[in-house]
Chains A and B, each alone.
Chain A
Amino acid sequence: GEDVEQSLFLSVREGDSSVINCTYTDSSSTYLYWYKQEPGAGLQLLTYIFSNMDMKQDQRLTVLLNKKDKHLSLRIADTQTGDSAIYFCAETPLSGGYQKVTFGIGTKLQVIP
């Protein structure tokens, strides 16, 4: 079945760039997501990319996709203390009707002032 893997923890200094990595196993066309979970809150979609794209940029966020290696990364430029949160990678196959979304375990980003 599908699997999404992430490292558990990342610590960066305020102002530096953060790179959170994810690998997935689904070989079909797929959507890949990054969700952010702040303490005590639910998950909120940050951005997504379709598997026929290599890169997507949205303000301080850059998503890179290496489809050959099934590797997805989220780069946060000029990381701020407000970026401290858990970041979840997720994927779902492109297909009609209901499709399961598979979430990674989440990477906890700690931003040091």
Chain B
Amino acid sequence: NAGVTQTPKFRVLKTGQSMTLLCAQDMNHEYMYWYRQDPGMGLRLIHYSVGEGTTAKGEVPDGYNVSRLKKQNFLLGLESAAPSQTSVYFCASSYSRGRPDSAKNIQYFGAGTRLSVL
């Protein structure tokens, strides 16, 4: 029962470096999301995808890019990391056609990636 898997779990970057966070889900979900979680600010949506090959901006998309080339994977890229991007990043997925929880838009979360940008 893997669910939503995020890699890596931890990462330290220097300012200006790039990296890609990988999210994989095995529940045949149509929708996938990237959030960041910062103290006192809750969860903020960065980008999301409603299907393979589609992406859309969330609340805080600047400095991030995403790709959904395969239905089960959603990648989050930081082209030039900044200290303001130090955060915990969560991937989530939802909605599988025909499943009873589909209409309720229940999101299933990964365990998170802790990123520090020095």
Chain B contacts of A48 at CB under 8 A?
Answer: 104, 106
**Residue of chain A at shortest CB distance from B9:** A40
User: Which residues from chain A sit less than 8 Å from chain B, CB to CB?
Assistant: 8, 31, 33, 35, 40-45, 48, 88, 92, 94, 97-101, 103-106
Number of residues of chain B lying within 8 A (CB) of chain A: 22
Q: Point out the residues of chain B lying under 8 angstroms from A8, CB to CB.
A: 40
Majority secondary structure, A binding face: loop
Q: Does B74 have its Cβ within 8 Å of any Cβ on chain A?
A: no
**Interface contact B105-A31, CB-CB below 8 Å:** yes
B-side residues, CB < 8 A to A, are 4, 31, 40-43, 45, 48, 50, 90, 92, 95, 103-112
A88 in contact with B109 (CB, 8 Å): no
Question: How near does chain A come to B80, taking the closest CB pair, in angstroms?
Answer: 27
Q: Which 4 pairs across A and B sit closest by C-beta, in order of nearness? A: A42-B109, A105-B42, A43-B109, A103-B43
Would B43 and A42 count as touching, CB distance under 8 A?
A: no
Q: Which of B31, B104, B110 has the most CB of A within 10 A?
A: B104
Instruction: Please tell me which one of the listed residues B41, B108, B111 contacts residue A105 in the complex, with CB atoms under 8 A apart.
Output: B41
Structural contact, B112 and A41, CB atoms closer than 8 A? yes
